[in-house]
């Protein structure tokens, strides 16, 4: 999955230098809600919450399109289209889950405790709300659901690029954790989080492709092929 030829530092700068996508009102409300729950400052516990939520739409789309596959099995064109969404959704949600594990390992290493909103009862309520939002959005307009997700991913990409900038000590912190090495075979924690930021850009790019806005894809050297 990880292309070692990518210049992660250059891409982090590209993220920092690129203006954020123009967020919809709904996305703005969503990010404001996250700031109310987790605080304005981006840190690892907040990134953990972001990752707990990140896989939800992909899982919702996967289940939804498996059902559509069964209903439309006679129409090969639709079957192929649904299958590409499922394939991407599976890869993306596994990738988001890996991000969650990596952040958890870093927090353990640094002795950072979970904040109140990560306690099971609060996390459950936040997750439940987002499951309902994700399912409703996909039900009313799958295209809009892709677009909303592109905004979520655009936001996530910048959160990680900023975290690396705000934590210069990560440049000297070597990665020794086996699980984290399995995710990305890089030397420093700064590069681990740069790689996560770029994964989020990939998720955004594919979301833009699926919602029919390929012109909004943020290209870079060594990026994965299109899914659509």
Angstrom CA distances, 67 to 70, 86, 100, 134, stand at 5, 11, 28, 16
In the complex, minimum distance from the CB of residue 73 to Fe ion, in angstroms, rounded to a whole number:
30
Which strand (E) or helix (H) includes residue 111? none
Selected range binding Fe ion among 65-73, 120-128, 160-168, 196-204, rule: CB under 5 A: 196-204
- Contact at 8 Å (CB) between 108 and 39? no
Q: 69 or 131: whose CB is closer to Fe ion? A: 131
**96 near Fe ion (CB under 5 A):** yes
Give whichever of 82 and 88 is closer to Fe ion, judged by the CB atom: 88
97 φ, ψ to 5°? -65, -40
Residues 117-136 that bind Fe ion (CB under 5 A): none
Residue 205 C-beta: closest distance to Fe ion, Å? 11
- Applying CB under 5 A, does 64 fall inside the site for Fe ion? no
Taking CA atoms, 85 is separated from 71, 99, 218, in Å, by 16, 21, 20
DSSP H/E element including 177: none
Q: Please report whether residue 192 would count as binding Fe ion according to CB under 5 A.
A: no
202 touches Fe ion by CB under 5 A = no
Taking CB under 5 A as the criterion, the residue among 59, 203, 206, 218 binding Fe ion is: 203
Q: Using CB under 5 A, pick the residue from 11, 153, 157, 191 that binds Fe ion.
A: 153
DSSP state of 167: -
CA 46 to chain centre: 13
Contacts of 13 (CB under 8 A, 6+ apart): none
Is there binding between residue 54 and Fe ion (CB under 5 A)? yes
Q: Which of 48, 64, 65, 99 is in the footprint of Fe ion by CB under 5 A?
A: 99
What the block records as the tokens of 8 is 């992660």
Q: How many whole angstroms from its chain centre is CA 47?
A: 10
The residue from 200, 201, 217, 218 that contacts Fe ion (CB under 5 A) is 200
**Alpha carbon distance 182, 194 (integer Å):** 16
Tokens representing 116 are: 């109140």
Asked if 157 touches Fe ion (CB under 5 A), the answer is: no
DSSP 8-state assignment for residue 72: T
Nearest approach, Cβ of residue 195 and Fe ion (Å): 11
| CB of residue 78 to Fe ion, shortest distance in Å | 26
Instruction: Tell me the window of 55-63, 70-78, 99-107, 219-227 that interacts with Fe ion (CB under 5 A).
Output: 99-107
Contact footprint for Fe ion (CB under 5 A):
51, 54, 96, 99, 153, 200, 203
């Amino acid at each position: 999955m990880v292309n070692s030829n990518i210049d992660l530092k250059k891409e982090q700068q590209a993220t920092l230098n690129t203006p954020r996508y123009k967020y919809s009102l709904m996305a703005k409300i969503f990010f404001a809600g996250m700031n109310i729950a987790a605080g304005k400052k981006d840190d690892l516990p907040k990134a953990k919450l972001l990752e707990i939520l990140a896989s939800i739409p992909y899982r919702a789309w996967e289940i939804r399109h498996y059902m559509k596959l069964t209903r439309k099995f006679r129409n090969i064109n639709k079957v192929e289209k649904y299958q590409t969404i499922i394939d991407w959704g599976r890869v993306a949600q596994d990738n988001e889950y890996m991000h969650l594990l990596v952040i958890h390992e870093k927090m353990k290493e640094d002795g950072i405790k979970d904040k109140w909103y990560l306690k099971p009862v609060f996390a459950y309520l936040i997750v439940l709300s987002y499951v309902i939002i994700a399912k409703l959005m996909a039900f009313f307009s799958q295209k809009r659901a892709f677009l909303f997700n592109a905004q979520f991913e655009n936001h996530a990409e910048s959160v990680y690029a900023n975290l690396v900038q705000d934590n210069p000590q990560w440049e000297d912190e070597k990665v020794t954790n086996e699980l984290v090495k399995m995710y990305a075979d890089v030397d420093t924690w700064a590069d681990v989080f740069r790689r996560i930021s770029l994964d989020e850009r990939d998720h955004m790019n594919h979301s833009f492709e699926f919602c029919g806005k390929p012109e909004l894809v943020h290209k870079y050297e060594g990026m994965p092929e299109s899914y659509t």
